[in-house]
Amino acid sequence: MPNLGAHVSVAGGLYKAFERAEATTCRAIQIFAKNERQWHARPLTEEEIALFRAEQRRTGLGPVLVHDSYLINLASPKDDLWQKSMNAFAEELERCRQLGIPYLVTHPGAHTGSGEEEGLIRESQALNRLFAEGIGEGVTVLLETTAGQGTCLGYRFEHLARLIELSDYPERLGICVDTCHIHAAGYDIRSREDYEQVFAELDRIIGLDRVKAFHLNDSKAGLGSRVDRHEHIGEGMLGIEAFRLLVNDPRFSTVPMVLETPKGKEGLEDIRNLALLRRLRQQPDEQPNEQSAGIAERYQEPAC
């Protein structure tokens, strides 16, 4: 399955992601292009950019997705945080452009009391301003579906459709569907009938052509719980059938699907989850090589 992969650590250098991806039989990759819990990062050097591009050419892996910093809130009603978030997001966009990465995944933010419509307007104003300035040219921003904890936006398909409607640059926006998040938000995809209904609704409200990536995560919490807690594939409240339906859906056969499931001390969980997803599609064409376990053990990263 050329579209399956995982979020991969960049410890020791961004280019290290590709060797780690090889070790865990990834084809698609998601990374942080900077420390996800810091506002700023030092500029990328020409050497770092060249190493990253060379490793991607060597391995042939991709597409690569970047997930932005967890600190960013483009929907904030507070001017200082809003401006700080815009500056940080501009940095994320530019790093993607420099590295030749096509997609930047972001949560639509939290309104923190201003109301959903005001938060969506605020988010769209920030994106419009950045796009108008030509920042991150060629990079598509993927609005991620969320679980809807607290005042977080994006837990309804209508929220994402509204952001696209408000955009002066709709061609620069796509969607990343997180399976754990939509389950927690109340979209049930555990049976074929329900799965078809949910994606028919997404198609009607947004359009399936906007879906550019998936995050494959089972959910520790129940349907409609609005609680964002990821679990290994088939071990949570979603169960196996939802993932069987998704990986066999011909509409998404080339859309990158990356794991954000918990990672343990030995770092072997991605290999196990990817192998399970391949078995669900009955196409075991990318089994781990005999060195995978040893390599993966050397590269540990925290749970996403």
Residues identified as active-site: 37, 67, 70, 107, 144, 178, 181, 215, 228, 230, 260
Helix (H) or strand (E) holding 211: strand 211-216
Distance of alpha carbon 89 from alpha carbon 104, whole angstroms: 10
Burial class (CB in 10 A: 0-12, 13-18, 19+), 84: middle
The HSE-up count of residue 21 (CA atoms within 13 Å, CB side) is: 31
Distance from the Cα of residue 170 to its chain's centroid: 19
Distance of alpha carbon 125 from alpha carbon 109, whole angstroms: 13
With CA atoms as reference, report the closest residue to 255 among 211, 217, 218.
Answer: 211
Helix (H) or strand (E) holding 258: strand 257-259
Distance of alpha carbon 120 from alpha carbon 126, whole angstroms: 10
With CA atoms as reference, report the closest residue to 162 among 120, 116, 197, 100.
Answer: 120
β partners of residue 143: 106, 175
